[in-house]
């Protein structure tokens, strides 16, 4: 059994955990009200005073915080401490408008490192382990976040950052990398380059990988585990809470344990904003319980998932997130049907003749939505002759129609044609411009 980094917190009985969360929530709310004008204003608008919050059961009295609020308060409006206390600033990629900013005190950085250390302990990472951090270093939280987790565990940090795949693999082999951290899409890319270089998993000492920052399916997991001969562990996080490490899977790979002593999760119905029944799917909302620099009250992540409360076989009591279906704003509505790219990925990876790469293009012609899906056949199966492709297209087409309910226009491309990513993969081009950014 791998070591549990902080058994007291990760395995605390539920009642004591609730008590601890309640204490921390009360303190967080009080501090936010007193030091952050934004939270005071929002609470005053709802007529809620800090004294009204006596424990976790009162959470629903509190206002939500959204990414629009973060944008309005850019850059430091939500900060609860003076600038002198801040040690680091990160920002998310923020594809539209201003980036989301996160500021960290010394204690915040330490807490974040512990979060990642808890996840990496699942892979028994420790002294002597070479942890190759192939998440991008920079404003993105992935690189430095994974780095500090490896540091906390006394492992050897190999800060390769993302990109330059051939060199990554050379170093992986020469330095005897035992653990890697990167996005799942970049892991797939590395697997391809490994084959191109005539290398195989046997040339490597790689044992475990920590993959996250984007949704990925079981199909992708199987592919990564097979190609590298490793265990692929899901690590979840978001800049608004700290970055990677808000939660992670254990060795049973059956849901992502959330570090509940630091982050209080809720699932709400994104339309009514009311809590869903226990175990139901909805939007994940987090309240930070320890953050000093930029505490967050009821932050709406837009991630869709459900919570699993049963005790896990690993011994942790920490609640688990089900696989993240995607973000609510990644959901496509095509001909009135809700479609998540992750659903297409699930179907595609059931067919071993295809590579796990795909790209969806949605457009509108003559008032009707079009849905084009680019996929690649693996080398052994590819032929430029459309007649030879037909037998592969048909089963995929049928499966998508039955699973998702809409008819795709499937295009088979030669292997290696769809653009690979060294960070978060882009799977969709919605040309309809239906998104409203408020």
Residues that bind Zn ion (CB under 5 A): 250, 312, 314, 316
Q: Which of 63, 94, 176, 322 binds ligand ADP (CB under 6 A)?
A: 94
Computed on alpha carbons and rounded to an integer, the radius of gyration of the chain in Å comes to 22
Q: Which of 28, 103, 165, 301 binds ligand ADP (CB under 6 A)?
A: 301
The partner in contact with residue 314, picked from ligand ADP, Zn ion, none with C-beta cut-offs of 5 to 8 angstroms by kind, is: Zn ion
Q: Taking the complex as a whole, how short is the minimal distance between the CB of residue 257 and Zn ion, in angstroms? A: 6
Closest of 362, 354, 372 to residue 414, by C-alpha: 354
Between 176 and 270, CB nearer to ligand ADP: 270
CA 406/CA 344 separation, integer angstroms:
11
Q: Taking the complex as a whole, how short is the minimal distance between the CB of residue 249 and ligand ADP, in angstroms? A: 9
Stretch that binds ligand ADP, among 126-134, 187-195, 234-242, 368-376 (CB under 6 A): 234-242
Between 230 and 377, CB nearer to ligand ADP: 230
Contacts of 25 (CB under 8 A, 6+ apart): 53, 55, 56, 59, 264, 287, 289
Whether the ω angle into residue 402 lies within 30 degrees of 0, i.e. cis, is no
Q: Taking the complex as a whole, how short is the minimal distance between the CB of residue 91 and ligand ADP, in angstroms? A: 9
Q: Which of 30, 40, 207, 327 binds ligand ADP (CB under 6 A)?
A: 327
342 binding ligand ADP? (CB under 6 A): no
Between 92 and 165, CB nearer to ligand ADP: 92
Between 212 and 255, CB nearer to ligand ADP: 212
How many residues touch ligand ADP under the rule CB under 6 A: the total is: 18
CA 338/CA 278 separation, integer angstroms:
23
Structure tokens given for 209: 């990988």
421 binding ligand ADP? (CB under 6 A): no
Q: Which of 108, 223, 234, 261 binds ligand ADP (CB under 6 A)?
A: 234
Q: Taking the complex as a whole, how short is the minimal distance between the CB of residue 141 and ligand ADP, in angstroms? A: 6
Structure tokens given for 362: 């949605």
Between 169 and 267, CB nearer to ligand ADP: 267
Between 2 and 138, CB nearer to ligand ADP: 138
The partner in contact with residue 247, picked from Zn ion, ligand ADP, none with C-beta cut-offs of 5 to 8 angstroms by kind, is: none
Q: Taking CB under 6 A as the criterion, which residues in 60-89 touch ligand ADP? A: none
Q: Taking the complex as a whole, how short is the minimal distance between the CB of residue 238 and ligand ADP, in angstroms? A: 4
Residues in the chain: 438
CA-angle at 74, arms to 331 and 214, nearest 5°: 30
Q: Which of 28, 65, 92, 349 binds ligand ADP (CB under 6 A)?
A: 92
Q: Which of 10, 108, 214, 223 binds ligand ADP (CB under 6 A)?
A: 214
Contacts of 167 (CB under 8 A, 6+ apart): 160
Structure tokens given for 304: 């869709």
CA 185/CA 220 separation, integer angstroms:
8
93 binding ligand ADP? (CB under 6 A): yes
The partner in contact with residue 324, picked from Zn ion, ligand ADP, none with C-beta cut-offs of 5 to 8 angstroms by kind, is: ligand ADP
Q: Which of 10, 129, 223, 303 binds ligand ADP (CB under 6 A)?
A: 303
Stretch that binds ligand ADP, among 79-87, 209-217, 332-340, 383-391 (CB under 6 A): 209-217
Map residues 144-183 to x or -, x wherever contact with ligand ADP holds by CB under 6 A.
----------------------------------------
Q: Taking CB under 6 A as the criterion, which residues in 103-122 touch ligand ADP? A: none
CA 291/CA 105 separation, integer angstroms:
8
CA 154/CA 132 separation, integer angstroms:
14
- Residues near ligand ADP, by CB under 6 A: 92-94, 141, 212-215, 234-239, 301, 303, 324, 327
């Amino acid at each position: 059994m791998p070591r549990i980094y902080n058994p007291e917190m990760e395995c605390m009985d539920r009642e004591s955990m609730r008590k601890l969360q309640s204490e921390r929530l009360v303190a967080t709310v009080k501090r936010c009200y007193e030091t952050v004008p934004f939270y005071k204003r929002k609470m005053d608008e709802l007529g809620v005073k800090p004294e009204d919050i006596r424990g976790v059961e009162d959470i629903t009295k509190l206002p939500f915080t959204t990414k629009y609020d973060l944008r309005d308060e850019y850059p430091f409006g939500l900060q609860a401490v003076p600038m002198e206390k801040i040690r680091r600033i990160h920002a998310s990629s923020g594809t539209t408008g201003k980036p989301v900013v996160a500021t960290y005190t010394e204690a915040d950085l330490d807490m974040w490192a512990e979060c990642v250390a808890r996840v990496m302990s699942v892979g028994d990472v420790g002294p002597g382990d070479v942890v190759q951090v192939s998440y991008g270093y920079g404003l993105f939280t992935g690189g430095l976040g994974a780095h500090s987790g490896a540091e906390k565990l006394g492992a050897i940090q190999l800060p390769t950052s993302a990109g330059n795949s051939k060199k990554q693999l050379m170093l992986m082999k020469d330095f005897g990398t035992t653990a890697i951290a990167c996005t799942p899409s970049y892991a797939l890319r590395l697997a391809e380059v490994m084959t191109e270089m005539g290398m195989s998993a046997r040339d490597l000492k790689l044992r475990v990988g920590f993959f996250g920052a984007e949704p990925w399916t079981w199909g992708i997991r199987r592919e990564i585990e097979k190609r590298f001969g490793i265990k692929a562990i899901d690590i979840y996080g978001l800049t608004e809470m700290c970055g990677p490490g808000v939660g992670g899977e254990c060795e049973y790979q059956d849901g992502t344990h959330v570090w509940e002593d630091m982050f209080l999760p809720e699932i709400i119905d994104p339309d009514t904003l009311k809590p869903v029944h226990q175990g139901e799917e909805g939007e994940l909302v987090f309240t930070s319980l320890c953050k000093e620099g930029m505490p967050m009250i009821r932050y709406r992540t837009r991630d869709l998932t459900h919570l699993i409360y049963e005790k896990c076989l690993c011994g942790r009591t920490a609640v688990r997130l089900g696989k993240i279906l995607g973000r609510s704003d990644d959901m496509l509505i095509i001909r009135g049907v809700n479609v998540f790219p992750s659903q297409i990925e699930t179907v595609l990876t059931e067919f071993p003749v295809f590579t796990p790469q795909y790209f969806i293009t949605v457009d509108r012609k003559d008032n009707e939505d079009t849905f084009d899906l680019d996929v690649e056949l693996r080398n052994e199966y590819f032929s430029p002759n459309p007649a030879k492709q037909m037998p592969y297209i048909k089963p995929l087409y049928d499966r998508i129609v039955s699973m998702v309910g809409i008819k795709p226009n499937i295009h088979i491309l030669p292997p290696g044609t769809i653009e690979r990513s060294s960070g978060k993969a882009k799977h969709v081009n919605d040309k309809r411009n239906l998104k409203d950014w408020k």
